Amino acid sequence: MKPHPTFNGLYVPLVTPFTDDLRLAPDALARLADEALSAGASGLVALGTTAESATLTAEEKQTVVRICSAACRAHGAPLIVGVGTNDTATAITSLRELAATGDVAAALVPAPPYIRPGEAGTLAHFTALAEHGGIPLIVYDIPYRTGQTLSAATIAALGRLPGIVGIKHATGAIDATTVELLGSPPPGFAVLGGDDVVLSPLVAAGAHGGIVASANLRTADYAELISLWRRGSGAPARRLGAELARLSAALFAEPNPTVIKGVLHAQERIPSPAVRMPLLAAATGTVRRAALLAGSRARHSSPCTDLNSALPHRY
């Protein structure tokens, strides 16, 4: 039998900072990684959707993983790396390459996108990855991106595989499958919330933590939210959860991570709000609204505290 879940708490899927001319900004990424872990994140996620991983070159991906690995080693924290492909053989190769580095605690892998192989095919895909990839896997269940829904029975079957250690649950709703999953997760299987706006009720219902893009901002508060629910402090958790849900909604008002990058830039934490096409930079008003919410709590982890004065000059 598996032990208790290894992956608990808050995991921050970092953005990939760029310069105005769309070059990777490694120093800014290193600062973001250190800030997130110093603010209370349990670990980091590199090369997730939030990182614009589909637009990165192979060399850039290696740089991102190297920087995030160094930060996690310094803090004694686990690193999760996104591996997204709809080809099983290619995914196995990528997983083996990650495993060979020795610095990655797990890979975050979606159900095969676009192909929609059905639940039997999806289970066979993950079985092959678990058996041959050489690294623990966290299933990324996000049907609105993959086109593939996973039932509670399929998730339970995945959780019984020795190489699968958790799931990022981002189905867009708290439904009967969610309730069944949280009511009796497989032993040693971490259920991590992946829909930022409903993180609070997911953790209240039994999720072990979350992979939360919004936590690139106010990291300490998102970590505290999870801690409050796990300590049974319902009243303050509900208040903080409602506040952070408003922030998450503002950050996802335009495609992720455009608004997050806009706010990070306004806070002078990254050199540019630039994103690579097909994404376009978020609108000024959208960023301003989110930035005000990101700066509304005194103890958030950003070094910039005067957003009201900073934003009009920067945008």
Phi, psi of 109 (to 5 degrees): -125, 125
Q: Residue 186: what pLDDT?
A: 85
Q: Residue 195: what pLDDT?
A: 96
How far apart (Å, rounded) are the C-alpha atoms in residues 8 and 42?
Answer: 7
Is 61 one of the catalytic residues? no
Q: With beta carbons less than 8 A apart as the criterion, state whether 138 and 104 touch.
A: no
How far apart (Å, rounded) are the C-alpha atoms in residues 255 and 49?
Answer: 11
Local confidence band at 85 (pLDDT 50, 70, 90 cut-offs): confident
Tokens 């990254």 belong to residue: 270
Which runs of E-coded beta strand occur in the chain? Answer: 9-13, 43-46, 79-82, 106-110, 137-141, 164-169, 190-193, 209-211
From the candidates 11, 61, 168, 261, which is the catalytic residue? 168
Query: What pLDDT, in 10s, does the model give residues 136-167?
Result: 999 999 998 888 889 999 999 999 999 999 99
Which of 199, 190, 200 lies closest to 164 in space, CA to CA? 190
Query: What pLDDT, in 10s, does the model give residues 42-84?
Result: 999 999 999 999 999 999 999 999 999 999 999 999 999 999 8
User: What is the model's pTM?
Assistant: 0.92
Largest distance between two CA atoms of the chain = 57
DSSP class of 282: P
From the candidates 61, 140, 222, 261, which is the catalytic residue? 140
A 10 A CB-CB count for 115 gives: 15
Is 315 one of the catalytic residues? no
Range of weakest confidence among 24-28, 174-178, 230-234: 174-178
Q: What is the mean pLDDT of the chain?
A: 92
